[in-house]
Structure 1
Amino acid sequence: MGRIINKLSLKGDRILGIVVIALMLISLLVVYSSTGSLAFRVRGGDTSFYLLKQLFLLVGCYGVILLTQSCHYKYLLSFATFILLASFGFLVLAKVMGATLNDTERWIKIFGISFQPSEFAKLAVIIFCARAIAFEQTEKGCDDNVLLRMLWVVPILFLIFMENFSTSALLGGVCLFMLFVGRLSLKTFSKIIGGLVLLVVLLVAALFIVPEKQLGKVGRLLTVKSRLEAFFVPSKANKDDSYQSDQAKIAVARGGLFKVAPGTSVQRNFLPHPYSDFIFAIIVEEYGLGGAGVVMLLYLIILYRVGVIVRRCTRMFPAMLVTGLGLCIVLQALINMGVCVGLFPVTGQPLPLVSMGGTSLLFTSAAFGMILSVSHTFSEEGEREAKEKLKVATTEEEI
């Protein structure tokens, strides 16, 4: 019995493992509440359907964490290029023959399983960038040749950009931060930032200069323009463009400071996707700012524990891997929460491990599993296990 419990327990950083389980429990509560109106529209009032569906997904996600935490990071280092090429192939396949769901990103189906290739691409890009930064380390810092290696990720970022601007911007920002932490020279880093600022200015200018008919032919640029207008110039925006953010603000206002009223959300009947993109607004409405503060605190704890794990690492690749994965999860959470309270334009980013959905949950779980794997490897327990394996190997050789 003890062995079974040991195999089913999360290894590595225990605090991080507790936070992961806490977010999963919160997900069950909030998804059950936020899908009430959806259940009446689609399932004829069967409110338990989405609860059981989310429960099974979370159990599967826990299995993914157990599987990935048992995989040593050296295998990710070895297959980083292959993983990146596979993600590029999936993105191209989605562009050519993928299906559009909820008028957003394209999905592909493999062996009867549908998933968003952009979620897989996020992991692939971070793993590859961590490898590139680790391979270009010198005594003085990270060599500028790392930029040539990271050119491999540009086509992937472009393909993601054509489907979801916010995901590509989030992933690009994470890559930049990894370069900064990886000790790229400030001179080179400043040039990159300057070039990106110029590129963003030109892109925003093009959004308001190019006719809308032409913008509609290039990815989702027309959607990006409408969301920026609704955020920065609400007086000129259409009511449809600002509808989601307005309903989310109403949910936040209804929540108040402290409130414990699960299942009483009113705005779930008006928000287009209260169980995914705007699930944080439902949390505020039903649990108040106090409950929302607890959720925010959990993500800040993740950020802190990621920093602790990085400081324990004695190798550059696992340190960069944990940095990229942890930052991507936390930034995505902050963006989701910022959108719900009106700090950012509408982006469509789900709340990691809380929002309903399969692809985001599974790949976020894989990211947590990788972080826990690195944490376990560089922990005292992991070092003891490594020494015991070494002793067994030595004994067998002697025999």
Structure 2
Amino acid sequence: MHPIFKNIKGDRLIWAIVALLAIFSFLPVYSAASNLAYNGVGRGTFSIFFGHIMHLVLGFLIVFIVHKMPYRYFRAISILLLPVVLMLLVLTLMQGSSSSGTNTSRWIQIPVVGMSFQTSTFAFVVLMVYVAHYMSKIKDKVITFKESILPLWMPVFFVLALILPANFSTAAIMFCMVVLLVFIGGYPVRYLAVIIGLGIVALTLFILTAKAFPDAMPNRVDTWMSRVESFSDDAVTEEDYQIEKAKIAIATGGVKGVGPGKSYQKNFLPQSSSDFIFAIIVEEYGLIGGFSVLFLYLALLFRIVIVSQKSDTIFGKLVVLGVGLPIVFQALINMAVAVQLFPVTGQTLPLISSGGTSIWMTCLALGIILSVSAKREEIVNNEQREESPLDILTETI
């Protein structure tokens, strides 16, 4: 095992947190897999569980490969991949397919391997790296709104416009994360206020257009509105079905939970292994298990901020926050939905929920973070080697 650990670079606590989340995911996913197998999703409980393990194995392989790459390469890679992302999003919007019973154009089929791929999650990572690159490039320059429209906001607008019709929650989270990142990067607040205002106007026009021409985007706007209305209305309706079952699961779990694999509500929650897996965790492991998962994500947030602060370059600082904050933000949203603090969004619990694309893109982001951390570690080690014995003696005296 020693050679393996020797080749692992970067923040060790991030590696440990990610490993703990991945290992813990085996228990609730295996428990929820029995319901999926019963409903005909996959060949059986073990096959679904084995698929989740393979997704995680490939995910950790992605982390390992990416964290070995010098993070400065991601500048050019994000520029090269941005047109690819736009083409994939257009193709997905035109030929998107359903997945796991959801009738939304979020996935694109890959015929060679017979699997589906959610392009919006890939676009999320690429866009955040691109924005971090742009903000680091203009850090010491006088920023004007007109000069930033084409290189910064036009790519953001096109990506969001292509994601919005099928996946409002991801588009909204992406917009918030971009605004937060450019704010941290020093973009003038007065320009940000204009961008936020334009975003609200664009969303309003989109909703009005979708209402006027419902055949263009069937059921999407109605779905968003019904979710918001269900969240604000105390009456139990059909739209409240999943959240009500999630609340029952959480209430049943109590402090200690009913025990591993003994969840009852997994038989009624359609997305028990993905969107509402946190409710299953609390039901089986109680508030102790729920708070433990929350603590791990908050610990991950803390280490992400530490890695960002220790980076020697502006791009390193921004790219760590750009790809790292959405992971924790998505986790908090998923947990907030389960306890009805937020409307249903369809966001998964990173590294715990089943689903290949979500796991792989989270691992891609973590690999970038660890690449930045590994570079800082390398610099510190080189400085220690270059320090002569005379310097050490002088410092001691």
| The two structures share one fold, judged by TM-score above 0.5 | yes
Deviations 1:48-98, CA, capped at 9 Å, x for gaps: 222222112211111111011011111111122111111111111112223
Distance apart, 1:42 and its partner CA = 2.5
Q: SS state of the match for residue 109, structure 2? A: strand
Q: Is 37-46 or 163-172 further displaced after alignment?
A: 37-46
Aligned to 1:108: 109
Amino acid at match of 1:162: P
Aligned to 1:168: 171
| The one of 185, 189, 197 aligned to 1:186 | 189
Aligned to 1:384: 381
Q: SS state of the match for residue 73, structure 1? A: coil
Distance apart, 1:4 and its partner CA = 4.2
Distance apart, 1:336 and its partner CA = 0.6
Aligned to 2:150: 148
Q: SS state of the match for residue 261, structure 2? A: coil
Does the 8 A contact of 1:284 with 1:292 survive in 2?
yes
Q: SS state of the match for residue 264, structure 1? A: coil
Amino acid at match of 2:224: V
Aligned to 2:393: none
- Compared CA separation, residues 382 and 65, structure 1 to 2 (3 A): farther
Distance apart, 1:167 and its partner CA = 0.2
Distance apart, 1:186 and its partner CA = 2.4
Q: SS state of the match for residue 42, structure 1? A: coil
Amino acid at match of 2:185: G
Q: SS state of the match for residue 119, structure 1? A: helix
Amino acid at match of 1:384: N
> 1:358 & 1:179 partners in 2: Cα distance?
30
Aligned to 1:277: 275
1:80 aligns with 2:78: yes
Q: SS state of the match for residue 93, structure 1? A: helix
1:228 aligns with 2:231: no
> 2:260 & 2:224 partners in 1: Cα distance?
34
Aligned to 2:327: 329
TM-score (norm 2): 0.88
Does the 8 A contact of 1:123 with 1:367 survive in 2?
yes
Aligned to 1:397: none
Amino acid at match of 1:106: W
Does the 8 A contact of 1:252 with 1:285 survive in 2?
yes
1:341 aligns with 2:339: yes
| The one of 88, 96, 99 aligned to 2:97 | 99
Does the 8 A contact of 2:67 with 2:368 survive in 1?
yes
**Structure 1: runs of 5 or more not aligned:** 390-399
TM-score (norm 1): 0.88
> 2:169 & 2:319 partners in 1: Cα distance?
21
Q: How many residues align?
A: 379
Superposition RMSD in Å: 2.5
Deviations 1:102-135, CA, capped at 9 Å, x for gaps: 2232323163242111111011110111111111
Does the 8 A contact of 2:274 with 2:349 survive in 1?
yes
- Compared CA separation, residues 338 and 215, structure 1 to 2 (3 A): farther
| The one of 37, 40, 56 aligned to 1:39 | 37
Percent identity for Structure 1 against Structure 2: 35
